[in-house]
Amino acid sequence: MADKNKNNMTVNEAGRKGGEATSESHGREFYQEIGKKGGEATSDSHGKEFYQEIGKKGGESTSDSHDKEFYQEIGSKGGRARADQDGEDGKMSLEEAGRKGGERSRGGNRD
């Protein structure tokens, strides 16, 4: 069989074993670092249009597989999370609004 190597192991099996061995010898930081490097490499080799296209495809796929209730639920969850960030009453304080507005007008963060 073409998918078998010399040890009667498929490419799939060899990949799984290698992944498990790597997982046992490397921690979370290793995977975070290689993920970051991969993301940076992709960013360097693809332009804005690439990300627009994959975002559009992902949105269309999600739209095809979810109904109106799904979007209502995630909107509600997002609203509750935002209210928790902004304060008990769901409104942003004047101090917070001023800080955020200042950050946007300067184009940078001051945290």
Q: pLDDT per residue over 17-52, tens digit each?
A: 999 999 999 989 999 999 999 999 999 999 999 999
Tokens, residue 44:
């360097």
pLDDT band at 60 (very low <50, low <70, confident <90, very high): very high
- 4-8, 62-66, 103-107 — which one is most confidently predicted on average? 62-66
CA torsion 81→105→55→73, rounded to 10°? 20
Residue 29 β-bridge partners = none
Average pLDDT of the chain is 85
Which range of residues forms the domain containing residue 74?
66-111
pLDDT band at 4 (very low <50, low <70, confident <90, very high): low
Q: Which letter, b or e, does each residue of 3-35 get, where b requires 16 or more Cβ atoms within 10 Å of its Cβ? A: eeeeeeeeeeeeeeeeeeeeeeeeeeeeeeeee
| Whether residue 46 sits in one domain with residue 17 | yes
| Whether residue 84 sits in one domain with residue 96 | yes
- pLDDT of 1: 47
pLDDT band at 61 (very low <50, low <70, confident <90, very high): very high
| Whether residue 46 sits in one domain with residue 5 | yes
How much is the average pLDDT of 2-10?
A: 69
Instruction: Give the total number of structural domains in the chain.
Output: 2
- pLDDT of 85: 78
